[in-house]
Amino acid sequence: MQNTIKKPTLTLAIAGTILMSACNQTAPKSNTSMTDSTTTTAAATLPAAAGFEKTIDGKPTKLYILKNKNGVEAGITNYGGTLVGLLVPDKDGKLTDVVVGFDGIEGFQKAAGSYYGATIGRYGNRIAKGKFTLDGKQYSIFTNNGANTLHGGKKGFDANVWDAKQVDSTTLELTYLSKDMEEGYPGNLNVKITYKLTDDNELKISYEATTDKNTVVNLTNHSYFNLNGAGSGTNLEHLVQIDADGYTPVDTTLIPTGKIEPVKGTPFDFTTPTTIGARIEEDNAQIKAGGGYDHNYVLNKHDISKPIATVIGDKSGIKMEVFTEEPGLQFYTGNFMQGKNTILGGKKDDHRTAFAMETQHYPDSPNQPNFPSTVLKPGAVYKTQTIYKFSVK
């Protein structure tokens, strides 16, 4: 990898994250016959600000609201750099919250292993056995996903309070200093994340980071989406297209084997629009390993010029396009959601009622020399952008 590492900036365009699965070892039994519950007729609203006014680790937390000229709204808290809710219009013009969230900080803390809406770091996704070698030295990090490390370790970026600056009604800047050897990672890492809500109904997430020692970095956002509205039922009829001819198969602990295999002829082929539920129960070893889809896709193109993924809500008509500069996309279909948490609106986070599309470098890259490098060096800037754009079909 060159001295400047390009990472994803998340842009959410409204035209119209890994991962609960990551922290659970056994997915609940699939229920493809589950019927979607009826969505409410009232327009969705963001949670009250009071539920986010807390003090954690001696630092104040708050809910910040971004609005564009179209009435689209995004709620973000500096606890974990978390996207709390995103209101976009459906095919009838009704505002719909397409992101699974909670009515206050306590909800996010209770569901800590699920990473709802959170900023993930210092390393998104898994690192095998909690170890990697850099410049001839082995580093050990906390194993919080069986024998492996997931989404940064015991207390990743998702569980820390960020410094926040609301630049204007559409822009929020979050900064965080991850100190040398925090969670076992070398180097003082200065991180800046910018959420920008554009008048094209895009939510752009831009990431920047610098370090004073060689380190590894892989940042992403772990939002759970349901384009029919959070709490509206299963995601199985959502129509998905992913511009990827290959994916990285995994072992039984969801660590990549190191191979890149073609999606053609497998349940992982979303090169043409296909519903999530069409092949999610096929007798396939990789499907069984993840309890459904929980895999990294090797993107064909990733330069923000065109979407690398498109999802359409079957009931709402809401269309979400994903743009990124990252080489990979973790597609997760809520296989480990178990209905243990009450989300905003009083519904439960039931099995497969949301999906995540986490733009990223590949899982376990520090231990996989044939994968794109995630090494960041002093003097270089980690910079990447991801965009989620919304419209209606």
Burial of 192 (0-12, 13-18, 19+ CB in 10 A): middle
151 is catalytic: no
Q: Is 306 helix (H, G, I), strand (E, B) or coil?
A: coil
The neighbouring-strand residues paired with 119 are: 221
The neighbouring-strand residues paired with 261 are: 247
Percentages helix, strand, coil for the chain, rounded to the nearest 5? 10, 40, 55
Residue from 182, 325, 326, 358 carrying the catalytic annotation: 358
Residue from 73, 151, 222, 351 carrying the catalytic annotation: 222
Contact of 134 with 216, CB cutoff 8 Å:
yes
Q: Which two tokens stand for residue 88?
A: 């976009």
The neighbouring-strand residues paired with 171 are: 168, 196
Helix (H) or strand (E) holding 286: helix 285-290
Burial of 369 (0-12, 13-18, 19+ CB in 10 A): exposed
238 is catalytic: no
Q: Catalytic residue numbers?
A: 222, 358
